[in-house]
A = this chain, B = another copy of it.
């Protein structure tokens, strides 16, 4: 068990419970006997005997795993054309999950690339890059870490590879059009691709292969980031987190 409870926590629980419980006992004894002194004496004796017992009862339960659950981990995978808004949405969802004190790792295509420095952008190399990232995601997931990943990941082959490695894979497809992305593209990547400066640019000179059955489709052109994030977290609450 990675998490455990300190002896201090057990002592504080013993005190807070004893306060509550002894007042109840004393009240019951008083109601039945009308004797104030007896009620106090029983109460006081109880305080010492039971506080010690409560402490040992807590320490015993500390060793019992029954009823202690882990929040399930999962891989939340955002896919879509360049400049489809994956990164902003993934960041928003990450912040929400992180705020709930869950263990979450955020992986973005661009952040992961320096780990694999020789990787180019040909379909074969992109497939390899996405598959490696899938390995990384599932290794984290297997160890109880929630992964929020955003990768253009334009090819079905490597997305499906990442899906098969994971236990809980949630594919979120950013549904939009090349035109809308081009308008949104502040960094001028589409312009450079059109000018021939980039090769293999999804939506320009290679196809972005739409997911066939993604867990979620986000109509990002008609939603704010907040609305879209709510859609994602609602899905997670309902289908994976359950708490």
Contacts and interface: CB of A to CB of B under 8 A. Distances in A.
Contacts of A1: 3, 71, 101-102
A38 interface: yes
Contact of A145 (B21, B25, B145): B145
A179 interface: no
A234 interface: no
Contact of A21 (B13, B42, B50): B50
Q: How large is the interface on A (under 10, 10 to 19, 20 to 34, 35 or more residues)?
A: 35 or more
A210 interface: no
A198 interface: no
A180 interface: no
A57 interface: yes
Contact of A3 (B8, B16, B69, B142): B69
Query: 10 shortest A-B CB distances, which residue pairs?
Result: A9-B67, A143-B145, A6-B67, A3-B3, A8-B67, A2-B71, A1-B101, A2-B103, A28-B45, A115-B132
